[in-house]
Amino acid sequence: MIVRSATLNDVDTLVDIHRQARDTYYRGVIPDEELDDPAERAEMRAAYERAIPKPGRRLLCAEHDGAVVGFAARSTTSGRGPSTPGAAGSPTGTSAPAPVTRGSYGCA
């Protein structure tokens, strides 16, 4: 498995993985019409297109056998200016959940 920075070429795959993970935990809780709405996919796609090149934001892709099987997002700024060093001298920030495709659990 390799981990690399996401590129704009990864957007459709990131959306697919995100929707697959979201369906796993929201299907049956949120109405299917809302989960399956094409406008929702377009909004998600646009959000990833904005996030990938955004300064202070890092999207990482996990690849296994040449296919993206998961990703993680990290923000190194609070939105109020440059990041500040943490206790270990690394930037502070927040991380988002890391969705992975079905069948790729434990493939590292």
CATH of the domain at 64: 3.40.630.30
What is the DSSP pairing of strand 67-75 with strand 57-64?
Answer: antiparallel
Q: How far is CA 48 from CA 32, 65, 72, in A?
A: 23, 23, 12
Residue 105 lies in a domain: no
**Domain assignment of residue 88, given as a range:** 2-95
Collapsing DSSP states into helix, strand and coil, what is residue 16?
helix
pLDDT per position as a tens digit, 56-75: 888 999 999 999 999 998 88
Indicate whether 30 belongs to any domain: yes
Q: Say what the pLDDT of residue 57 is.
A: 86
Alpha carbon distances (Å) from 3 to 21, 27, 75, 92, 101: 19, 29, 17, 21, 15
* Residue recorded with tokens 């369906």: 23
Indicate the pTM of the whole model: 0.72
Indicate the residue type of 75. S
